[in-house]
Chain A
Amino acid sequence: MDQLLINPNYPHILSTLIFLPLAGALLLLFVNNDYFARYWTLGITALTGILSIPLVSAFDTTSAKFQFVEQYTWIKSLNIQYVIGVDGISILLIMLTTLIMPLCVLASWSYIKTRVQPFMICLLIMETAMLGVFMALDFVLFYILWEAMLIPMYLLIGIWGGPRKIYASIKFFLYTLAGSIMLLVGIIWLYKTNNYSFFIPDMMWQNYSLTAQVFLFLAFFLAFAIKVPMFPFHTWLPAAHVEAPTAGSVILASVLLKMGTYGFLRFALPITPEATTLLMPYVLWISIAGIIYGGFTALAQHDMKKLIAYSSVGHMGFVTLGIFVLNIEGIEGSILQMINHGITTGALFLCVGMIYERTHSRELRSATGVGKYMPIYVTFLAFFSLSSFGFPGTNSFVGEFMILAGTFKHSTTLALAAIPGAVLAAAYMLRMLQKIIWGGIDNPDQSWLSDLNMREIITLCPFLFFVFWIGLGPQPFIDLIHFTITNLLDQFHAHQGQAVAATELILH
């Protein structure tokens, strides 16, 4: 248990964060009042956001151990523990989750008109599950929350979604669940091999046989690649994004997609280091395929949400690229890019949602030329679009730059193959921006549109703040993760005995 660090000043902070939304949801169950439900959920999520701030201020950036750890026995006969902790990989994702949830509530303020109370309960349960996934250090706890998360998300899409919500929600559920079934088998195998323990840090850096590692890696890969989603497992994403309500899209894009990449960093690299080295080239080229494919497909979309959804496939391709080049720039860049994507794409979905609330259409054609009538709106949209294709000075530039720097270090061919993706991103985002702001001679009459109200401006401002903060001064964010990643890579390179032999065997 020497991987754990118990922070005496904040003994129960993580549990508070996990259970506060759940408790809020349970209490909300008894009050069926729309106004109360909105304010209550906003209050609970905002409180969770505020309570999570000490995590950053008290986080020890000179330690690679898990911090703020809490550990209790949960199911004794199976040796399952309730053990949670935070390290450099998860801290930013936890902050992203807690800070984005109040904004999701604000975004659904007038968007959700029917069955408000169940909607808010689903949001709160989602928050509990998402935070739990990032904090869990017991594999069963992780798996339970990972799967349980599907239920509220399924309901969010299936009940409050668009016209093809049934198709989208079932596809989302089946795809994700089917992918993680083999993960369960892998977990049980690890349990048996590791002296009947589900404790994740104990599973890391063990010398499993190469065959076992390859199978484990494939099980991990299937589960996480579907969640990311990596090309060719991405088809559930556009459907789910397009049909989900705005808050659902934001949660999906900002947090859920990160769970896949988080999974790679947390499990695939430390548990199967040699298989990772062995299979790395394939994953890298799949990432490249995702970047290019996402870019081209986004270029052809007429539906704004679909466009952003496909752009997500491309951006997440960059993230997996950064992870699997396996050097410090790449991995740090990809963690930063996870956060950036959460901020930028989340904000873009909010923007589309705001237009949709007014015109009830997501078609690019029916939203052309609104710049004249909604100046504040298009200002926000412009900043987020610039950020989305990595314009210097915005957050994504830093992330993509680091990832590409890492990729160049690894292989020039690979980096050159990824560059067109960045160009494509500029092309499709500028195309959308041009159409929405100016349009052409055949713009529909937009004069009846009202500009953003105060609530909407308040919702978007924090996103803009972080776009520029990370874009202009990313050092504090990198400091938070740097030590953990250095340690991860050191350990990773120290556990490469068999893989080197196997690669040589293949080469000769």
Chain B
Amino acid sequence: MQFLPELALLGAGFVIFLVSLGKTDANKIKTVAIGLGTVVFAATLISFGAKGNLFYDSYKIDLYSQVFKVLIAGAMLVVLILGRKLKDIKNSVHPEYYLFLFMSVLGLMMLVSSVELLAIFVALELSSFAVYIMVPMRDDAGNYRFQMEAGIKYLLFGVTATGFMLFGMSYMFGLTGSTQLSIVVAKLSLLYNQPAAIIAIMMVLAGFFYKLALFPFHFWVPDVYEGASNETTAFIASVPKLAAVALLIRLVSMIHGEGQVIVNILMVCALLSMFYGNLSALIQTDVKRMLGFSGIAHAGFILLGLLTFQLSGFANALFYIIGYVVMNLACFLVICSISTNGENVQISDLNGLHKRSPLLALTLAVALFALAGIPPFVGFMGKFMLLAGALKQGYLMLVVLAAINTAIAIFYYLSVVRVTFCNDAENNNPITSTLFTNITSIVLLLIIVIMGVAPQQFIDFATSAVQSIN
């Protein structure tokens, strides 16, 4: 019961592995993969209320971890649905692609439950290595070799970040004599203003900064987003970020002492992420690249919640990442549907989308307005609560600068909405979308609106989830 989601994923991996042994029809594998994804999602729902400690207390099942497992499984299911055709992956490697996808998700699910340094490391690596392989799996039929560059970049930056993290973990162990997170944090809180402790904490956080694409560990983002196939990017842009935020909240929420140095460092990272992400996104022409940079900026916003070191701040960060993932998935759903052969989508390709597919145009517009933080969508509510929380702690300057960033960001989101609605297309071929994608996009739209208009239930839920950590 407690370990059901992970077992389901492992089983899913095995099934796909068996399928990959024979020669199989690509269509059948897709159906199998979506079916397995649904099973995993169901398994996370079944084990939702489970509680307990496993593996000598290095693995904790609580409300918090189970919430994230549901979210991760749900996001994975959406990725599976929107990438239903795997247009840009060679037919022969489809089973392997799904296998690695499931393995990566398994790693992420283990990550949100891990409360021991080595378990965290193992889970993180499991999830990362699978993605390292998924990135270069893009078809190179059109002599298109960016995916190799992207794969190498992702790997090298990933390994570097992991190196930082391991080094930090060794410091933590050296300072506290334990790898249990609860003991480590308890002992570390006596040493907060010691340089060694600060270095240790920052280096461990670096590993998650990399997953979340926060400054200064964001350098892989644009090239990997552009080089990986649309479906892979949709995955990288959403699911690992959920897990990264989960672990960041878990780590940070255990800190009780006065850690002004750490707050300052986090503030600097948050602001630089926002400015770097938003200013770079202004000049992009590739939609995925633009979303990549915007993701860096949004990661900075999430830090606003963490650096308050308040329960409400963590709940806000949790609310925001859920909203962000939904908005992002909605964007990628449109991207995957538009690109006919899995090629990258330029902003100019969106010309006249309102004629080619009204529903997709509406989805994209709502998702982008939400990302830009315009009410009444979830992006506004999330940002508003993060800003209110930060100002409550007295960080006025930080809030002002973050607010300025919102204004900068409007421009590039708006210029995409502009081409979708106001320009007319050269090609007016209607885009065929299946019933499945239509339903998914309507569901995502509804979530974006409901979370924006009636956030109370979600906030309460996020608060009780965060409360269950300790």
Q: Give A contacts to B, CB under 8 Å.
A: 74-78, 140, 143-145, 147-148, 150-151, 154-155, 158-159, 165-166, 169-170, 173-174, 177-178, 181-182, 184-185, 188-189, 191-192
Alpha-carbon separation in the docked complex, A177 to B374 (Å): 9
B449 to chain A, nearest CB (A): 11
A188 in contact with B456 given A147-B380, A151-B369, A159-B422 (CB within 8 Å): no
Contact check, A75 vs B456: say whether CB atoms are below 8 A apart: yes
* Stretch binding the partner chain, chosen from B56-64, B77-85, B199-207, B388-396: B388-396
A43 to chain B, nearest CB (A): 24
Alpha-carbon separation in the docked complex, A395 to B403 (Å): 42
A174 in contact with B414 given A76-B456, A147-B380 (CB within 8 Å): yes
Alpha-carbon separation in the docked complex, A155 to B369 (Å): 12
Main SS class of interface, B? helix
Alpha-carbon separation in the docked complex, A131 to B124 (Å): 51
* Among B312, B384, B421, contact of A158 (Cβ-Cβ < 8 Å): B421
A170 in contact with B387 given A76-B456, A177-B410 (CB within 8 Å): no
A78 in contact with B415 given A151-B374, A159-B422, A169-B422 (CB within 8 Å): no
B189 to chain A, nearest CB (A): 28
Contact check, A165 vs B375: say whether CB atoms are below 8 A apart: no
B317 to chain A, nearest CB (A): 15
Sample (5) of A-B pairs whose CB atoms are under 8 Å apart:
A77-B456, A147-B374, A169-B422, A182-B400, A188-B391
* Among B399, B406, B421, contact of A188 (Cβ-Cβ < 8 Å): B399
User: Is the CB of B376 closer than 8 A to any CB of chain A?
Assistant: yes
A144 in contact with B456 given A151-B374, A166-B418 (CB within 8 Å): no
* Among B391, B407, B421, contact of A181 (Cβ-Cβ < 8 Å): B407
Alpha-carbon separation in the docked complex, A192 to B385 (Å): 13
User: Is the CB of B14 closer than 8 A to any CB of chain A?
Assistant: no
* Among B375, B388, B399, contact of A148 (Cβ-Cβ < 8 Å): B375
A173 in contact with B459 given A147-B375, A158-B422, A165-B422 (CB within 8 Å): no
A33 to chain B, nearest CB (A): 15
- Chain B residues with a Cβ closer than 8 Å to the other chain, count: 32
* Among B375, B392, B418, B463, contact of A170 (Cβ-Cβ < 8 Å): B418
A184 in contact with B385 given A166-B422, A173-B410 (CB within 8 Å): no
Contact check, B459 vs A185: say whether CB atoms are below 8 A apart: no
Residues of chain A with a CB closer than 8 A to B421's CB: 155, 158-159
* Among B374, B385, B411, B418, contact of A78 (Cβ-Cβ < 8 Å): B385
User: Is the CB of B404 closer than 8 A to any CB of chain A?
Assistant: yes
User: Is the CB of B25 closer than 8 A to any CB of chain A?
Assistant: no
Alpha-carbon separation in the docked complex, A150 to B373 (Å): 12
* Among A77, A147, A148, A159, contact of B459 (Cβ-Cβ < 8 Å): A77
User: Is the CB of B259 closer than 8 A to any CB of chain A?
Assistant: no
A170 in contact with B403 given A77-B463, A150-B374 (CB within 8 Å): no
A185 in contact with B387 given A143-B375, A148-B375 (CB within 8 Å): yes
Residues of chain B with a CB closer than 8 A to A151's CB: 369, 374
User: Is the CB of B455 closer than 8 A to any CB of chain A?
Assistant: yes
Q: Give B contacts to A, CB under 8 Å.
A: 312, 369, 374-376, 380, 384-385, 387-388, 391-392, 396, 399-400, 403-404, 406-407, 410-411, 414-415, 418, 421-423, 455-456, 459-460, 463
- A-B contacts besides A148-B374, A184-B384, A185-B396, 8 pairs, CB < 8 Å: A75-B455, A76-B456, A77-B456, A140-B384, A148-B376, A166-B418, A185-B403, A192-B392
Alpha-carbon separation in the docked complex, A154 to B372 (Å): 14
Contact check, A191 vs B388: say whether CB atoms are below 8 A apart: yes
Alpha-carbon separation in the docked complex, A154 to B369 (Å): 12
Contact check, B403 vs A184: say whether CB atoms are below 8 A apart: yes
Closest 6 CB pairs between A and B? A144-B375, A158-B422, A178-B407, A188-B391, A181-B407, A181-B403
Contact check, A185 vs B418: say whether CB atoms are below 8 A apart: no
Alpha-carbon separation in the docked complex, A78 to B414 (Å): 29
Contact check, B369 vs A185: say whether CB atoms are below 8 A apart: no
Alpha-carbon separation in the docked complex, A185 to B395 (Å): 11
B400 (CB) vs chain A CBs: closest residue: A185
Contact check, A158 vs B418: say whether CB atoms are below 8 A apart: yes
* Among B312, B374, B385, B418, contact of A169 (Cβ-Cβ < 8 Å): B418
Residues of chain B with a CB closer than 8 A to A166's CB: 418, 422-423
Residues of chain A with a CB closer than 8 A to B403's CB: 181-182, 184-185
Alpha-carbon separation in the docked complex, A151 to B373 (Å): 12
Alpha-carbon separation in the docked complex, A75 to B422 (Å): 35
Contact check, A189 vs B422: say whether CB atoms are below 8 A apart: no
B76 to chain A, nearest CB (A): 30
A101 to chain B, nearest CB (A): 20
Contact check, B376 vs A170: say whether CB atoms are below 8 A apart: no
B442 to chain A, nearest CB (A): 12
Residues of chain A with a CB closer than 8 A to B400's CB: 182, 185
A188 in contact with B418 given A144-B380, A151-B374, A178-B407 (CB within 8 Å): no
Alpha-carbon separation in the docked complex, A188 to B393 (Å): 12
Residues of chain A with a CB closer than 8 A to B456's CB: 74-77
Contact check, B380 vs A75: say whether CB atoms are below 8 A apart: no
Alpha-carbon separation in the docked complex, A144 to B404 (Å): 17
* Among A74, A78, A150, A192, contact of B391 (Cβ-Cβ < 8 Å): A192
Contact check, B414 vs A185: say whether CB atoms are below 8 A apart: no
Residues of chain A with a CB closer than 8 A to B422's CB: 158-159, 165-166, 169
B238 to chain A, nearest CB (A): 25
Alpha-carbon separation in the docked complex, A140 to B418 (Å): 27
Contact check, B399 vs A185: say whether CB atoms are below 8 A apart: yes
Alpha-carbon separation in the docked complex, A76 to B411 (Å): 33
B408 (CB) vs chain A CBs: closest residue: A178
Alpha-carbon separation in the docked complex, A23 to B369 (Å): 21
Alpha-carbon separation in the docked complex, A185 to B406 (Å): 12
Residues of chain B with a CB closer than 8 A to A74's CB: 456
Alpha-carbon separation in the docked complex, A292 to B377 (Å): 41
Residues of chain B with a CB closer than 8 A to A144's CB: 375-376, 380
Alpha-carbon separation in the docked complex, A159 to B396 (Å): 39
B455 (CB) vs chain A CBs: closest residue: A75
